[in-house]
Structure 1
Amino acid sequence: MMRILLVCTGNICRSPIGEFLLRRYLEGTAISVASAGTHGLVNRPMDKFSNTILRQRGITETADFRSRRLTTPIAKSSDLILCFEQMQRRESIQLAPTMTRRTFAISNFVSILQHLTSTGQIRSTVPEERLSEILMQPLDPRLLVPNRDDIPDPFGQPFEVFADIAERIEDALHTIAQTIGG
């Protein structure tokens, strides 16, 4: 079983949306999805707007969700860490330096996947093997340069802002799931 970890700041807004969406997209594979926050508000339910967004997408089994803080053991037990902002990537790597090559801002990871796909460097047809193959690729350093496409924190913002952020999350994770799922 391969493990993907989504990381935001409080683990109540973006990463829960990402966790539940990516889990749905990768259903039926041997890839598990979880989330945490670099400054996680421990044992809190997800934000009401995040919950509403998931319900609008037919995901209703969210009542048991509880936030958690990213720790070194959580980071090290993951095969891939996807962060919503470059700052979270840096904080994740500080906790688990051995995960540097497997920790990305989501926007950078999407760019990397698009490059690997367009150059035919992903060959496997089994999702977990595809993910492993992606993580083993030597990466063009230009693809690792932080871009400015962080997905900002909607905490405390009106629902419309959450909805816009959720669309960005959904688009990125859909691309990731399509690439991994083949």
Structure 2
Amino acid sequence: MSDVDGTTRPRIRRADLRRMREALDHGETALPAEVPVSVPAPRPAPVPQGAPRGTILTVCTGNICRSPMGEVLLRARLRDLGVRVHSAGTHALVDHEMTEQAQQLAVANGADAGDAAAHRARLLTVQHLAETDLVLTMAREHRSYVVQLSPALLRRTFTVREFARLAATLSDDEVRRGLSAAGTDAGARLRALAELVGGQRGLVPAEPDQDDVVDPYRRSQNTYELSASQLVPAVAEVERVVRAALA
């Protein structure tokens, strides 16, 4: 039996309740020792159907070009795994839509047109980071911003191209073996994946600027296409290792 606030009350049989009342009528103030009180063990809360299986956050500046492209592309690729993918901007143009060019390129590369059209920019907050297992930024400046905002995420924050470059050194089997002690919780496995991929830092040489996705905002169609050409392969590599971790 539960109160309205969900707490569980002890179960007492009617005969025992009668004996308690008789004891009180005779002036006794303590519960008779032989009266058993049965308190059922608490039941674990059920996991809601369709609950997210881990969370990935993509980050850029205005949250209207690069990070929403990454968001909707990853969401489409990981939808069957139930992974939650969202995005935010360090200096977001709050409530603005994705630019038309970004929407077109995202859809052309496999994103859901409805997701792309529904996007509205939002400002990155500490709360967004607290709810995230893996952070993928579009450039090193965003990675630095995230870590300054939430230092605890240092080992779980990468630029998306950096993450892809490091992940490419690990086979699917190596990912699975590396996560063998991570348990079955999807969020925990994503966090462990970040640690595993981060352990490859320093093993694969790269020019730092090769880890950034170029910002196409208010620039030519060619720049938008260049930005997408840098982002799309990185998203594909993210999908591969996330699948190895969760599927």
What corresponds to 1:139 in structure 2? 199
Return the alpha-carbon distance in structure 2 between the equivalents of residues 98 and 76 of structure 1: 9
Q: Deviations over 1:72-104 (max 9, x none)?
A: 111121101001111100001111111111111
In structure 2, what residue type is equivalent to 1:75? L
Q: Deviations over 1:7-51 (max 9, x none)?
A: 011000001111010001111113110000111111111111111
Equivalent residue runs for 1:121-160 within 5 Å: 121-123=175-177, 128=186, 131-137=190-196, 139-142=199-202, 147-149=208-210, 150-160=212-222
Q: Deviations over 1:134-179 (max 9, x none)?
A: 1243714415988221111000111121122112111100011012
Contact kept in structure 1, 2:214 and 2:226, CA below 8 Å: no
Of structures 1 and 2, the larger Rg is shown by: 2
Equivalent residue runs for 1:28-67 within 5 Å: 28-57=80-109, 59-61=112-114, 62-67=116-121
Any idea what SS the aligned residue of 2:59 has? strand
What corresponds to 2:160 in structure 1? 106
Flag the 1:159–1:141 CA change in 2: closer, same or farther, 3 A: closer
Contact kept in structure 1, 2:58 and 2:70, CA below 8 Å: yes
**RMSD of aligned alpha carbons:** 2.5
Return the alpha-carbon distance in structure 2 between the equivalents of residues 55 and 118 of structure 1: 28
What corresponds to 1:71 in structure 2? 125
Deviates more, 1:71-80 or 1:48-57: 48-57
Flag the 1:166–1:100 CA change in 2: closer, same or farther, 3 A: same
Q: Percent identity?
A: 30
Question: Whose relative contact order is higher, 1 or 2, with alpha carbons under 8 Å and at least 6 apart?
Answer: 1
In structure 2, what residue type is equivalent to 1:167? S
Structure 2, unpaired ranges of 5+: 1-52
In structure 2, what residue type is equivalent to 1:115? T
TM-score, normalised to structure 1's length? 0.88
Return the alpha-carbon distance in structure 1 between the equivalents of residues 82 and 109 of structure 2: 23
What corresponds to 2:3 in structure 1? none
In structure 1, what residue type is equivalent to 2:59? V
Return the alpha-carbon distance in structure 1 between the equivalents of residues 234 and 123 of structure 2: 23
Q: What is the total number of aligned residue pairs between the two structures?
A: 182
